[in-house]
């Protein structure tokens, strides 16, 4: 059994990874870190560089957690892709980071967090960015 974390190179992504590590330790499970990127542009903020991924792996290793990194691509729907991966790997928990969005932003862009919470077949842990 494993825990899947949706990772982005951002504060929210960091928070999600930390939460994922804590949970994995508590439950004694493996960690699956997913960086899923949208196809179509040459450069994307959501893409995690090799250094980002290395750092995240290190964090997991230091906490004594076995971790795997998955890099995937999707064409139109992140939620669909992410939930598909969660079902495929039959995880015990989904961990995502939450971002502040205005009402208008949510309307136009849609909220993946909302859809994941509502559509997931597994328990979801949603965390906010850590206030340092």
Partner 1 sequence: MHTQDETTSVSDPDNEPENGALTPEELAKEWAAEAPESSGPIANLLACLAVLGLAIAGMFISAGLGLGTPQTPNAGTWPFIVCVIIAVMALVQMIVGRKGENGGEKFSKLSWYSLVGFVTLLLLIALMPIIGFEIPSLLLCFVWMRWLGGERWRSATLYSVIVVVAFYLIFIVALGTNIPRLF
Partner 2 sequence: MDFFGPVADGFSTVLDPTNLLYCLVGVVIGMLVGILPGLGPAATIAILLPLTYGIEPVTAIIMLAGIFYGAQYGGTITSVLLRLPGEASSVVTVFDGYVMARQGRAGTALGIAAIGSFAGATIAILGLTFLAPLVANFALDFGPPEYAALALLGILLVATISGSSKTKAIIAAAVGLLLATIGRDVFTGAERFTFGNLSMADGIDFAPLAMGLFGIGEILYNLEERHRSAAMPAAVKRVWPSRSDIKQASPAIGRGSVMGFLLGILPGGGATISSLVSYAVEKKVAKDPSRFGRGAIEGVAGPETANNAAATSSFIPLLTLGIPANGTMAIIFGALLIQGITPGPQLINENPELFWGVVNSMYIGNVLLLLMSIPLVGIFIRILRIRAAILAPITVLITMLGAYTIRNSIFDVFLVVMFGAVGYLMKKFGFEPGPLVLAFVLGGLLESNLRRSLLVLEGDLGGFMGRPISATLLVVFVVVALWPVIKSGIMRRRANSTLVPPLSEKEKV
Residue 42, strand partner residues: none
Residues in the chain: 132
Tokens of 57: 């792996």
Q: Give the nearer residue to partner 2 in terms of CB position, either 112 or 122.
A: 112
Q: Give the nearer residue to partner 1 in terms of CB position, either 117 or 129.
A: 117
Cα gap 94→5, rounded to integer Å: 6
Does residue 105 belong to the site contacting partner 2 (CB under 8 A)? Answer: no
Does residue 48 belong to the site contacting partner 2 (CB under 8 A)? Answer: yes
Q: Which residues bind partner 1 (CB under 8 A)?
A: 39-40, 49-50, 53-54, 57, 68-77, 80-81, 84-85, 107-110
104 binds, among partner 1, partner 2, none (CB under 5 to 8 A by kind): none
41 binds, among partner 1, partner 2, none (CB under 5 to 8 A by kind): partner 2
Residues 60-79 that bind partner 2 (CB under 8 A): 73
Other C-beta atoms within 10 Å of 121: how many? Answer: 11
State in Å, rounded, how far the first CA of the chain is from the last one. Answer: 32
Residue 51 Cβ vs partner 2, minimum distance, rounded to whole Å: 9
Enclosing H/E stretch for 118? helix 112-119
Other C-beta atoms within 10 Å of 109: how many? Answer: 9
Which residues are near partner 2 by CB under 8 A? 9, 37-49, 52, 73
């Amino acid at each position: 059994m494993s825990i899947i974390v949706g990772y982005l190179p951002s504060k929210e992504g960091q928070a999600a990874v930390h939460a994922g590590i804590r949970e994995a330790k508590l439950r004694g499970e493996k960690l699956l870190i997913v960086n899923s990127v949208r196809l179509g542009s040459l450069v994307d903020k959501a893409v995690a560089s090799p250094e980002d991924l290395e750092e995240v792996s290190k964090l997991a290793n230091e906490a004594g957690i076995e971790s795997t990194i998955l890099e995937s691509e999707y064409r139109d729907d992140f939620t669909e892709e992410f939930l598909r991966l969660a079902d495929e790997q039959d995880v015990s928990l989904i961990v995502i980071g939450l971002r502040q969005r205005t009402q208008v932003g949510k309307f136009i862009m849609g909220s993946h967090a909302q859809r994941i919470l509502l559509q997931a077949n597994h328990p979801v842990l949603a965390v906010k960015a850590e206030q340092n």
